Structure 1
Amino acid sequence: MRAVTVFLLIAFGFSWLVAWQIQASGGLGAQGPLASLAMLSLMMMGPAIAAIVCTLVFDRGRRLAALGLRGFSAWTVARWTAIAWLIPVLVCGLAVAATLVLSGQPMGDPVALIASQLAASDQDVPMDPGTLLAIQLAVGLPVGIAVNTVFLLVSEELGWRGWLQPRLTALGFWPMCLVVGVLWGLWHAPIVLMGYNYPGLGWTGVAVMTLFTTLWTPYHALARERGGLLAAAGMHGALNAVAGVSLLFLSAPQWPWNGPLGVGGLVVLAAGLPLIAVGRSGMKKRAA
């Protein structure tokens, strides 16, 4: 518990200090796009810094293994990373479908949306919006997933799944997921209160964000358990890239009907948890 306490103090302390600086400088977006991205990226380094400090202090002689960077074959890591990339695509697609059914809103027209955004920005793009959307889906999305995976490997996931998850495995898989999921969600509290993901919801947004991270955690935890840190980072990277793109297919992506982040996404994630339970049980039987 001493090691976990040190980890949490550093992870939350560093990240929330950066969040305080964001708030003090005008809130999210007030610094301009690049500066805002840099500040959010710096905030995401809190769990990684905590993991590195705790590994140096508490995991002498097994530091790489303690972070999930050793103990898995290259084939296992590659296979589970590929699976981890695909799961958010499936979940976000199902979340959009569930949102359309539950809300009754018509499906969005991503081509028309891109056209309106280009018109509003007064940019001269030498291609039609349909081609631009195709390029975004075929090229931009995979590149975004890859870039996010690499960054999350050395930031958030190094802490939450890399270092913290193995420390809590004695609780059992599901209690561990509950603890990590709640901590992961509460860690987002300062920026959620500034409007991140759930603008205008305040503490209700923090509660929804915590429910969202708690429901996602078993998926990430399974990837970490079976494929190491890279697989967990791959799932998080794909989620961050795909969730935003999926909103293009909704005509009114506001809470509670904002696709993966809304009721539709929460329902789909909850429905998948029994599959994880059955899958883990089958894996244990095959291993035995």
Structure 2
Amino acid sequence: MDGKARIKAHVATYLGLTVLFCLPPYYWCIHTGNLGGGYKPVGFSLILMWGPALAALATCRLRSIPLDALGWNWRPTKYQWIAYGVPILYSGAAYIGIWLTGKGGFYNREFVANVAKGFGWSLPDGLVIVLFTLLAGTFGMARSLSSALGEEIGWRGFLTPQLAKFNSYTATSLWMGLIWSLYHYPILLFSNYNLGGPKWFSLTCFSVMVFAMCFVLTWLRMKSGSLWTGAILHASHNLFIQQIFTPLTVDTGHTNYYIDEFGLGLPIVTVVVAIYFWRKRHELPETAQ
């Protein structure tokens, strides 16, 4: 078996095992109609997100691939900071645009009141928002990272560098966008991983966003050699969108068509960011371009 055929066998083994490990949580999510089902310590979404990691570790074992190939190294640290900051920039830009155009309102006073009550704060709303954002954006990253890491050990730790061995940066990003989108489709179409809008609309917006994100994630993985860039970007993305910006947004009528991962805002901005990173592809190692 030549080198390219061997790598393709690695990829096929990994994808098959990913499907196998994800089938139980897919069933539970679809059967109950609830991605957030289960019990707090172990929910359906957490099990699903660790399927790609289990598949990567099993593939390394079965195919005699050293675990070091997954990219556990942390340095250079600057790429971890870039990974943390990029989702704040693109999600912030999307939501500020949504608030300024009136497609969604700022801010949800009920959400802010619940935050203040939960922390026992008697503070002005603006200060509550600032303090909550700081706490969520630091300590909250630990919880977000615990789930995002499961996917990223598989997607960016294992699969991205394997695909990059016989594909260009652009082709690798497109393949990752397709695979990562398909991974989400069962819960988007048949469970409650959406905002209740038309499924075709949610799927289209989500897919465009995921393809665009993969151009950023692939660039960071190939430039840094670290899977932690993917884990941190993924965790930051989930945290700031799902826990901060979306809850802060008031529904002004059809707001679900613009916010979160299933509306128009994020796909537009992430495509701009993807183009920026695509134009920097010459900075990648020559074999990854």
TM-score grouping bracket, smaller chain normalisation: 0.7 to 0.9
- Alignment coverage as a number of residue pairs: 272
Change (3 A) 1:224 1:150: farther
> Structure 2 residue aligned with 1:198, among 195, 212, 236?
195
Q: CA deviation at 1:124?
A: 9.5
The answer to whether the 8 Å contact 1:89/1:239 transfers is yes
TM-score, normalization by structure 1: 0.83
Change (3 A) 1:164 1:282: closer
Q: Which amino acid aligns with 1:168?
A: L
Q: CA deviation at 1:163?
A: 0.4
Q: How does 1:85-100 map to 2 (within 5 A)?
A: 85-100=84-99
The answer to whether the 8 Å contact 1:105/1:251 transfers is no
Counterpart of 2:258 in structure 1 is 257
Change (3 A) 1:105 1:152: closer
Q: CA deviation at 1:126?
A: 4.7
The answer to whether the 8 Å contact 2:10/2:63 transfers is yes
Render the CA deviation track for 1:220-255: whole Å, top value 9, x for unaligned: 111211221111111111101111211244332833
Is residue 2:163 matched to residue 1:159? Answer: no
| Structure-1 separation of matches of 2:261 and 2:91 | 5
Which of 44-53 and 197-206 deviates more? 197-206
Change (3 A) 1:17 1:206: farther
Change (3 A) 1:88 1:52: same
Change (3 A) 1:152 1:224: same
Counterpart of 1:9 in structure 2 is 16
Change (3 A) 1:135 1:68: same
TM-score, normalization by structure 2: 0.82
The answer to whether the 8 Å contact 1:223/1:232 transfers is yes
Change (3 A) 1:26 1:182: closer
Counterpart of 1:171 in structure 2 is 167
Render the CA deviation track for 1:115-166: whole Å, top value 9, x for unaligned: 56579xx97945346244333111122112233234423x100101110001
Is residue 2:39 matched to residue 1:56? Answer: no
Q: Which amino acid aligns with 2:141?
A: I
| Structure-2 separation of matches of 1:260 and 1:95 | 11
The answer to whether the 8 Å contact 1:115/1:129 transfers is no
Change (3 A) 1:198 1:2: farther
| Structure-1 separation of matches of 2:115 and 2:155 | 38
| Structure-2 separation of matches of 1:17 and 1:207 | 26
Mark the runs of 5 or more structure 1 residues left unpaired by the alignment.
Answer: none
What's the secondary structure of 1:251's corresponding residue? strand
Counterpart of 1:271 in structure 2 is 272
The answer to whether the 8 Å contact 1:257/1:263 transfers is yes
The answer to whether the 8 Å contact 1:19/1:191 transfers is yes
Is residue 2:140 matched to residue 1:139? Answer: no
CA-atom RMSD in angstroms: 2.8
| Structure-2 separation of matches of 1:118 and 1:163 | 38
Q: CA deviation at 1:104?
A: 3.5
| Structure-2 separation of matches of 1:89 and 1:79 | 16
The answer to whether the 8 Å contact 1:182/1:211 transfers is no
Counterpart of 2:103 in structure 1 is 105
